[in-house]
Chains A and B, each alone.
Chain A
């Protein structure tokens, strides 16, 4: 909302520089985004002139050489190119030295050999509208030499206010003036609608017009007046200046008046050429399903029964509250006028506006829900202007089709409640002052107030708490609000819960293992699953789609972290990175309810119904190139399956999880021979592996290795922080190495399981530390070396005990075709 300062001061003049007023407004809740200056930066050297002579330029067909009286200094010669300039006109003149909008200084100039001492102004040259076809011809009553600033504001400051949706009143200059009054205490002038126009035309409005409202719930009030002998023409300069400064293009007097009154009162109006409304009859009704209509912007729109239309007998004339139609538009030939000021259902206007993607100054106001009383205020202001500026005569009477008016609203404001919400004292006298300045009525009742709410604030202020806000903000949080700290917790200690602590640990571990954390986009393009070679019926190939994405890039919720990691890796490699090691801790989004319902905190939908989506939190890592940097001492080996397996095991180990289980398994995006399904205690966790070369190629990466695992089962298995002491020092362990030859296709896990089974309780750990295959072994054989640790809690083991265990291990190994090497 643009509020020209001179216009504002007509109702309430705070006597403050505009910047200071802006500060006061900002600190009381009216957001002033900026102060714009319309027109020339300074009013100096702009005057009224009288054209006494206008003759053809000797050397230019389209220029006239004018003699212009500009007061004291005597006549000036001004060369003018406007087609409408002529002797006898009163005009606006910029003299040499004037600063034009944009800052350029006007100088004397020779135009085709004739010296010109100034410029006769067109409207757009001082930013009053965008007319450039001709110069402004002003009222002859103005004397030559009068500073132009006395006729029309120059260098007009305009407050650009961001009106919050609750304050429909501030969509009108008068509402802002009331706010200025409340904030500064400066006097507020009489309401501009206090006086109505005289109704001097013969007859009665009902002789000329008829209004039927078929949908009173969507049209709580429809008022109409009729005017005759209207003379369409340009608006006076002051009106054009105000509209232009407020950001509205001046068009013609009638249209300008409807816009002006809307900008003043916040109530939109619509003018009809009465002679184009058959029988003067208007019908407000719901559109029929599929009904079509062409709006003023030349778009044919298909409507539905939730859309309200204003129709004449034959066809729709406009979409209620949004936009008029072309049929009964006011034109230069209009002489009889029907003026509509209606009230519409806000939510309906909002929904219609969204459905049709159609917004207007009117709909922006109606959708906030205006009070029906505003209609008659707007009628009064507009009627006076039509009579004064368009020579119109008003037909007596107003058509007023109204549903029962909303009940007057009275609220109780408890003095104690004011203090208890705000934490600051506002005296009752101050409360009354603030509320009355805002237009509320306040009656004292003990410590409390009985407050009546004015029409402009009817839908905004509905409860005691709304009054407390009004009182508090005018009292001034910046000046009066104490700073206190609440007593928190009542016996509880603020802390992260265990899962949150474990999450931090996991992220720290991945970082410490050499991985840079990324935050990937939650959405990507729907083709990503395909690039990962994931195909239906794999649920990851069927992402949750965004109905209204900004672009295709953000149309699908990600179903893997891998896609994000590959994208980031590829981008960094393209930018010159030689290797990357990345991890992300974040959610993926899958269709279908979570396996277990967990209440509102776990994502259930209202009424404890499961959400149709699951958002598992995951850890994903991806490495390209060596994990350890190359140096003169070695390093620089390319990352492979086992490097990432070590990382994943270290992650699990750092959380105190039992050992992870790995089984050969494949994902479509992984190398079929170098990938594993990871599980923990038998429950699936995710995958680990080298990325399939075809997938790497798609992302333009040579080779990459990664993993992606669900956080929940990993964290659930963590024992970190819950470890119990175990005595491993009183009775020392016995350490033995073991080499076993097995068929080459026997999994190391199988060998280890056999060793653990044979070792029994005394065998505390068995770790593979070497692998050998070669000439010393038979064809199709390999040798694994394991480090064994035997220990008992209550005694030092004897050699005999350990040898017995070893014999039992050998027996178990024999069952899987293994033999001990000497």
Chain B
């Protein structure tokens, strides 16, 4: 009896291992483990066996059955996977067809990108950001910035005025926000103000509408050297870690001393000469590029907000005004200011 069981086991194992389809495997299962299978019959007949044989035969038959069951399960898994593979291989696509286009993402305007960049740099230096009105009162745009009525400096900026409101104008700079910010908050104050400004001027380097970033820092003991350090930090963040800045004395009515600020040219590394020996076109061979106007806030300006704690004998500081388009033009080689407001999508889509 035991030999018979062993023979069945060997025969069945051989068949199961060789089975090449699920159907064949099912046939083998019915043949060896089904109700009419030999092994099933043996197990059913155990009770008729002599008592001393019942133990060994029953054990062997049970063990054989379990082994075969496990083997069939493993084979079934193997055959299922093989059959699935065969089906998948038949389900073939042309991998060279174009991919489905994702929904397109739009583009940030270069003015926005540049504004954020400068804001982030100044925030990194500890500054806050403020915004303010573009249609402005003469008092904020001129008078409180030390441009009294009849002062020739008013003519430095050709101004758009609002009809039937002789005191109302389109702000010519973001500087009115110096006064508005100081009227709102006492010293110390460290803020930048981005925004649109307007001047009556139009050519390749002048647009009647453009954007500025104003900076204002007032506290005890701020110096012109601090202004230089601040602008150096900003210039390096904007134009590269090896940049230098230089301050040229200048005149603005609302700062004293006033300076124009040049940054060393990042195209020729400040030499004025390109690698091929030609004159640098970016700095016109000067090695320096003018980027902004700045200065120590004039005590007269602080005098307009003295009741907010801006006593020029106690606090002092600096202000600067940066052209955002100018920075964008330098950083991205945009040749003409007017392109920013043309909004040609072929240009917009060049900048993510």
Binding site for B on A (CB under 8 A): 26-29, 31, 164-167, 346-348, 350-351, 367-368, 420-424, 463, 465-466, 468-469, 472-473, 477-478, 481-490, 492-497, 500, 504, 507-508, 510-523, 544-550, 554, 557, 568, 571-572, 575, 577, 580-583, 585, 587, 589, 599-601, 603, 605-606, 611-613, 615, 627-629, 631-633, 635
- Which residues of B sit under 8 angstroms from A629, Cβ to Cβ? 101, 104
Query: Can you list 28 pairs linking A and B with CB atoms under 8 Å apart?
Result: A166-B153, A420-B223, A421-B257, A422-B257, A472-B224, A473-B249, A481-B228, A482-B225, A484-B226, A488-B190, A488-B217, A490-B188, A492-B128, A497-B128, A517-B112, A518-B343, A519-B112, A519-B341, A520-B343, A544-B163, A547-B164, A554-B208, A575-B344, A581-B104, A582-B345, A583-B106, A601-B130, A628-B101
Is B233 in contact with A485, judged by CB distance below 8 angstroms? yes
Q: Which A residues touch B228, using CB under 8 A?
A: 477, 481-484
Contacts of B257 in A (CB 8 A): 421-422, 465, 468-469, 472-473
A518 proximity list for chain B (CB < 8 A): 109, 343, 348
Across the interface, name the chain B residue whose C-beta is closest to A495. Answer: B123
B165 contacts partner chain A, Cβ-Cβ < 8 Å: yes
The one of A348, A487, A605, A615 that contacts B134, using a Cβ cutoff of 8 Å: A615
A331–B134 Cα gap in the complex (Å)?
Answer: 54
Considering only CB atoms, which chain A residue lies closest to B190 in the complex? A488
Contact, CB under 8 Å: A423 / B226: yes
Q: Are A29 and B249 in contact (CB under 8 A)?
A: yes
Q: A347 near B151 (CB under 8 angstroms)?
A: yes
Task: Return chain B residues, CB-CB under 8 Å to A167.
Answer: 251
Docked CA distance A7–B209 (Å):
42
- Interface assignment of B76: CB less than 8 Å from any CB of chain A: no
Would B125 and A547 count as touching, CB distance under 8 A?
no
Judge whether B225 and A488 touch: CB under 8 Å.
Answer: no
Q: Please indicate the chain B residues that have their CB under 8 angstroms from the CB of A473 in the complex.
A: 249, 257
- Residue contact A545 to B162, C-beta cutoff 8 Å: yes
Residue pair A627, B101 in contact (C-beta under 8 Å): no
**Contacts A494-B125, A500-B129; A516 near B247 (Cβ below 8 A):** no
A466 to B256, CA, bound (A): 7
- Taking the closest CB of chain B, its distance from the CB of A551, in whole angstroms, is 9
Given A511-B105, A517-B108, A613-B162, 10 new contacts (CB under 8 A): A29-B250, A477-B248, A489-B188, A545-B164, A547-B164, A575-B344, A581-B106, A605-B137, A611-B137, A627-B103
Interface residues of B in 182-208 (CB under 8 A from A): 183-184, 188, 190, 196, 198, 200, 202, 208
> How distant is the Cα of A497 from the Cα of B164 in the complex, in angstroms?
36
B116 within 8 A of A: yes
The answer to whether A572 and B345 touch across the interface, beta carbons within 8 angstroms, is yes
B contact set with A: CB distance below 8 Å: 97-98, 100-101, 103-109, 111-112, 116, 119, 122-130, 132-135, 137, 139-140, 149-153, 155-156, 160-165, 168, 170, 179-181, 183-184, 188, 190, 196, 198, 200, 202, 208-209, 217, 219, 221-226, 228-230, 232-233, 246-251, 256-259, 296, 298-299, 316, 340-346, 348-349
The listed residue (B108, B152, B209, B349) touching A367 by CB distance below 8 A is B152
| A contact residues around B233 at 8 Å (CB) | 485
Give A420 to B250 CA distance when docked, in angstroms: 20
Say yes or no: A421-B247 contact (C-beta < 8 A), given A367-B152, A485-B229, A496-B119: no
Contact across chains for B101 and A512 when beta carbons are under 8 A apart: no
A351 touches B150 (CB 8 A): yes
Which residue of A347, A548, A599 contacts B200 across the interface (Cβ within 8 Å)? A548
The residues of A that contact B296 with a CB separation of less than 8 Å are 421, 465
Q: Which residues of A contact B124 (CB under 8 A)?
A: 494
* Cα A29 to Cα B257 with chains together (Å): 10
Closest to A424 in B: B225
Residues of B within 8 A of A515 (CB): 106
Contacts of A627 in B (CB 8 A): 103
Please name the residue on chain A nearest to B245 by beta carbon.
A483
Known A-B contacts A350-B152, A516-B348, A545-B163; the reply to A606 vs B140 at CB < 8 A is yes
Partner of B222, one of A29, A350, A486: A486
Q: Assess the A486–B219 pair: CB atoms within 8 A.
A: yes
Beyond A478-B246, A484-B225, is A494–B128 a contact (Cβ under 8 Å)?
yes
CB <8 Å contact, B108 and A507? yes
Chain A residues, Cβ within 8 Å of B111: 519
Q: Is the CB of B224 within 8 A of A423?
A: yes
User: Which residues of chain B are near A422, meaning CB under 8 Å?
Assistant: 223-225, 257
Q: Are B137 and A571 in contact (CB under 8 A)?
A: no
